[in-house]
Amino acid sequence: MIQKKWVTGVAVACSLMLSASVALADKAEIKKKAQKTAVTLELKEMPADKALDLISQKSGITIRKTDVPKDIPNITASLKNVSVLDGIRLVTGMAGFTYIIEDDGIVVSSKKKEKAE
C-alpha cells in the first residue's frame, strides 16, 4: 500500500515537471520564431493595436492584447525585413505598451507591471 502511494506521487511529480518543461519549450519556440521571422510593413497613422494585428497575421505568431485602452495611439513606421520581435518592440514602445512572451503567444498590455522579455 505504501509503495503504491509513492509510485502515484512520483507519477504526479513527473507529470508536473513534464508540463512545466513543455511550457518553457513553447515560450522558447515562440521567442525563437519571433526572432527569426521577418516582416516588412508600412504603418501610416495606424492604431497600434491594428499594427500588432498585422504583424500577427504576417508572421503567424499569436499576439493577444489585454488591458489596452480605447484611445490607442496611432503610429507611423516603416518596417523593412525586421524580426517580428523587433517589430513588436517598436510598436509597443511607440504606443507605451509592454509585452511578455507566454507559452501560447505574445501578450501585449498597457499595464506597467508586465515585464517585457
Encode pLDDT of 26-70 as tens digits. Answer: 889 999 999 999 999 999 999 999 999 999 999 999 999 998 888
Across residues 80-109, what is the average pLDDT? Answer: 95
* Mean pLDDT to the nearest integer, 78-102: 95
For residue 7, pLDDT beyond 60:
no
Burial 20-51 (b: 16+ CB within 10 A, else e): eeeeeeebeebeeebeebebebebeebbbbeb
Determine if the pTM surpasses 0.85.
no
Q: Are 55 and 82 in contact (CB under 8 A)?
A: no
Confidence of residue 22 (pLDDT cuts 50, 70, 90): very low
Please report the pLDDT score of residue 39 as a whole number.
95
State the Cα–Cα distance between residues 80 and 58, nearest whole angstrom: 13
On average, the pLDDT of the chain sits at: 81
Q: Rg of the Cα trace of the chain?
A: 19
Compute the distance between CA of residue 106 and CA of residue 63 in angstroms, rounded to an integer.
Answer: 5
**What pLDDT was estimated at residue 29?**
92
Residues, the chain = 117
Pair type for strands 63-66 and 105-109 = parallel
CATH class of 1-117: alpha beta
